[in-house]
């Protein structure tokens, strides 16, 4: 049962290249499957989420993070009576444009591009991947995804001013994205705010007391876990507290969004698109808790002394290789060399680096940088 404001697959704006209907999968299910089978999706397994140079089977990578976001998104979408197939598809594709080495790699690529009057944006790069780089079909370039999925890739996490991005005019930049797309940015935050606390604790960078001091919502959850399970191990008490914090975020996002939708009076997808603000949101109290967790992670994990050397080296590697291929484009793969005839060389080099896994870029660094 879909809500009246949900996206309906039978009303999709379609694909760039028309295709016959599939006998037992709807269009969003087909898009989901195309993403899962894409090479760029598989490469997420070897792309950094937080840790770049720490070998552990337990830490999240881009792929396991993406799977967690998809699980959270499906649950919330079902409760809000949104289109679960579209929501899951957008969750699975939301990080496909990220370069190696996580945010350190993204920062380095953007800085390198700015030296040539350009920029790097992982949402826009994701669109290039699904529209052009994936080569699986003889009839067309890319994956030929539906409009709603391509729109969600662009608009799920930010608004792009129409006057500054005329190349994106077809994606209705003057309108809000559907609720299915609005949901992804916040489920992404739920996933990494809780998972990064977990991984930081496993890596012994964060301690329970440090988290309790910096994240009041976790402190309350941990006190509750201690009271309920006084004889449990410290790790199990930590797990219980994290679960309580996680559930608090998810429950609030469901309940507050449901209330906002009701109070807004929207009755259709068009009304969602034309509403003056995004309707998917945490309540003010929980949003404060979300920000506290995020700020804690930035201060104590992402920019911690333990990870600083890894991030600095990651940025150096990206910058060095970018400069190398700008100076020696003949060393690029032939397929990328041919693209340089129609696009700026800096964009070609950026595309090449952005598609790499951590392992592959390290191999290139050993090969080309003396």
**Mean of pLDDT values over 246-258:** 98
In the chain, what are the domain boundaries?
A: 9-307, 308-368
Instruction: Name the residue among 181, 173, 139 with its Cα closest to residue 15.
Output: 139
pLDDT digits (tens, 9 = 90+) for 39-75: 999 999 988 877 665 556 778 899 999 999 999 999 9
The whole-model pTM stands at 0.95
Mean pLDDT check: name the lowest of 231-235, 281-285, 337-341: 337-341
- Mean per-residue pLDDT of the chain: 95
Give the residue carrying structure tokens 């052009």.
Answer: 132
Instruction: Name the residue among 22, 20, 42, 40 with its Cα closest to residue 132.
Output: 40
Token output for 317:
């590697």
pLDDT digits (tens, 9 = 90+) for 11-38: 999 999 999 999 999 999 999 999 999 9
Band (129; pLDDT cuts 50, 70, 90): very high
Query: Please, where are the H alpha helices in 26-166?
Result: 27-36, 39-43, 62-79, 84-93, 102-114, 122-128, 147-155
Q: Does domain 9-307 have CATH number 1.10.3210.10?
A: yes
Q: What's the rounded Cα separation, in Å, for the pair 71 and 83?
A: 14
């Amino acid at each position: 049962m879909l809500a009246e404001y949900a996206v309906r697959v039978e009303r999709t704006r379609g694909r760039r290249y028309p295709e016959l209907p599939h006998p037992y999968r709807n269009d969003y299910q087909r898009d989901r499957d195309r993403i899962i089978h894409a090479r760029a999706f598989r490469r997420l397994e070897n792309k950094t989420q937080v840790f770049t140079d720490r070998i552990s089977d337990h830490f999240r990578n881009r792929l396991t993070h993406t799977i967690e976001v998809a699980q959270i998104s499906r649950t919330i979408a079902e409760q809000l009576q949104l289109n679960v197939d579209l929501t899951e598809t957008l969750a699975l594709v939301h990080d496909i444009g990220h370069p190696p080495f996580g945010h350190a790699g993204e920062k380095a690529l953007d800085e390198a591009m700015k030296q040539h009057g350009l920029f790097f944006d992982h949402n826009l790069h994701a669109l290039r991947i699904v529209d052009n780089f994936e080569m699986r079909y003889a009839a067309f370039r890319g994956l030929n995804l539906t409009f709603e999925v391509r729109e969600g890739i662009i608009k799920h996490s930010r608004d792009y001013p129409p006057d500054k991005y005329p190349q994106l005019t077809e994606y209705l930049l003057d309108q809000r994205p559907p609720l299915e797309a609005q949901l992804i940015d916040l489920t992404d935050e739920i996933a990494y705010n809780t998972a990064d606390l977990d991984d930081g604790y496993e890596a012994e960078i964060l301690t329970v007391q440090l988290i309790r001091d910096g994240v009041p919502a976790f402190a309350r959850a941990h006190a509750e876990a201690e009271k309920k399970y006084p004889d449990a191990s410290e790790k199990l008490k930590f797990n219980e507290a994290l679960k309580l914090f996680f559930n608090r975020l998810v429950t609030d996002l469901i309940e507050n969004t449901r209330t906002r939708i009701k109070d807004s009076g929207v009755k259709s997808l068009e009304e969602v698109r034309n509403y003056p603000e995004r309707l998917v949101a945490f309540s003010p109290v929980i949003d404060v808790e979300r920000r506290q967790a995020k700020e804690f992670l930035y201060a104590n994990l992402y920019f911690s002394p333990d990870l600083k050397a890894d991030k600095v080296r990651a940025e150096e590697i990206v910058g060095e290789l970018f400069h190398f291929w700008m100076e020696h484009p003949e060393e690029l793969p032939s397929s990328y060399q041919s693209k340089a005839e129609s696009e700026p060389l800096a964009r070609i080099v950026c595309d090449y680096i952005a598609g790499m896994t951590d392992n592959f870029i390290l191999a290139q660094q050993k090969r080309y940088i003396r």
